[in-house]
Amino acid sequence: MELDAFLNFTVAELLKSNGYKKHPFRLCTFASLDEYPSIRTVVKRKTIDKEENLFYTDIRSAKVKQLRKNPHCTLHFYHPKKRLQVIIQARAQILTEGALFEHHKQIALLNPQDYSTALAPGSKVDQKSFEIGDEENFCLIKCVSESIEILMLDRPQHLRAKFERADDWKGSWLVP
């Protein structure tokens, strides 16, 4: 496989997961920076070519606080059947207005309990149930890709490559 085909194949898998809830790339690990590396699972809502990935969250969450301090973030995807790992370094934008935000808010608030807990996510409470408040705290996170690193463990040869925006996405093979 050539370099550009390797990137296209990977982006095609990410795009496939936009419309298919069971695709392994629907979930990813999202990392932001704090005193320790801060990671969690999120639902990847939309991939826009190699350029952007979107997910939803609560504006009061720790990740949003971290991104306000430092927008650098990393998304990690893994496809077990294809033994394909994708690591996207990105800059996060926290969207709380505009057409894209309004479009996704309508979808997100189909489940009105989400993003509406009375207390902020991660608050300590005495019981496992939680109250729903009057405000909704939905926000859209847009991750603008800076680099995409792909590793596929395959036979007869493992493949690893990194593509960078700064290099016009030309990319280069890496030792696996």
Ligand X SMILES: Cc1cc2nc3c(=O)[nH]c(=O)nc-3n(C[C@H](O)[C@H](O)[C@H](O)COP(=O)(O)O)c2cc1C
Among 4, 12, 16, 40, contact with ligand X (rule: CB under 6 A): 40
For position 55 contacting ligand X by CB under 6 A, the verdict is yes
Q: Which stretch binds ligand X (CB under 6 A): 57-65, 67-75, 87-95, 148-156?
A: 57-65
CA-to-CA distance for 129 and 7, rounded, in angstroms? 45
Residue 105 in the binding site for ligand X (CB under 6 A): no
Check residue 121 for interaction with ligand X (CB under 6 A): yes
- Cα dihedral 35→123→139→96 (10° resolution): -90
Structure tokens at 135: 């405000």
**Least Å distance between CB 158 and ligand X?**
29
Q: Residue 75 in contact with residue 132, Cβ under 8 Å?
A: no
What dihedral do alpha carbons 23, 13, 85, 107 form, nearest 10°? -50
Query: 39: which strand partners?
Result: 31
The answer to whether residue 47 forms part of the interface with ligand X (CB under 6 A) is no
Q: Which is nearer to ligand X, 56 or 77 (CB)?
A: 56
What is the contact surface with ligand X in residues (CB under 6 A)?
A: 27, 38, 40-43, 55-57, 61-63, 121-122
